[in-house]
Structure 1
Amino acid sequence: MTKITELTIGKVVEMNEAGEKVVVNPGKVIKGKGSFFFTRKADKKYATTDKEGNEIDGVSAIFNDLTMYNDLGLIKFWDCAAANHPSIDVSEDEITAEIQRIADEVGTAPLFAGALEVFTQGFYKDKVENQDYMMQLGVNKEKDPVKKEELEGHLQMVKELRNRVASL
């Protein structure tokens, strides 16, 4: 399976009179990559608060959605990736339509694998590693054995999900 690390929005291919496929509109290419532009848009649109009242920045919220295979996380990811291309005007609906087209053809696994690769190997690698460290620190400091076991289970699940995605 190929990881999908870019989207082509609005590409139009038609058949000419000779029966050959001809690209009528090459579309707009959005590369999935982390950046300050991505972060700014993520924080502006997707920052949230957890059930304990802690603020979650937009990048972390998107990363968490992706690790939990939340389909809407894909839309958020590509919406923010579009911020890397300020000269390209693309709507969230156009992004959603392209993600849907890909999902219908090959499923969502290549989309998740490509998006998560951005977090684990690129601009956000240190952020993800720090998040892992903080989660482990939380487990180590927890005194309540029931909560500690729950946190350990969550941490193990996250690691298994990442390993699964990395192997795709």
Structure 2
Amino acid sequence: MKKLTLSTIATAGLLLASSSVMVMANAIETSSYKMVLIEDTPGVDAIQSGDIDEGIALTKAAATSVIDQYTRNLNLCVGYTKLSKFDIAEEACTEAVEMADRADKLPSMQMRAYAYNNRGVMKLLAKDNVGALADFKKAAKATHEPIYKHNLSRLVAELNNTETGTL
């Protein structure tokens, strides 16, 4: 596995409407929840533009010298989630979480936040509200970027909605 370095992390930006903070990824909307993709990697432009199958194919076909396994899994997590292929998405999401948990300390908190956030959105869309809540809490704890607080507070508000009692 190619090791994600601090310079790799510093090369991309997170685009949030509510924040000018620059970090390594690009937030995309999946329903009313935001997921994170690693910019400038094979397949990301296609996923962002809605050509999910092409984005997944490009991500999977990329050589390991071009894309590391963490980034590959993180982006596949988003792609498969957008296709509602939750079994495959969960495998990719969980692999990204496990890789982030094993990463070197300096970049690992942001990596963990990305991975837990994306897995949380996937779980939510797969109707695992408890799992999604746990992952959103871990993402928000890892780093205090607005995207994680947005997803966590939105889910908590929806879970507390007494009018419908459901999401």
**TM-score normalised over the length of structure 1:** 0.31
Rg (Cα) greater in structure: 1
Higher RCO (Cα < 8 Å, 6 or more apart): 1
**TM-score normalised over the length of structure 2:** 0.32
More strand by proportion, 1 or 2?
1
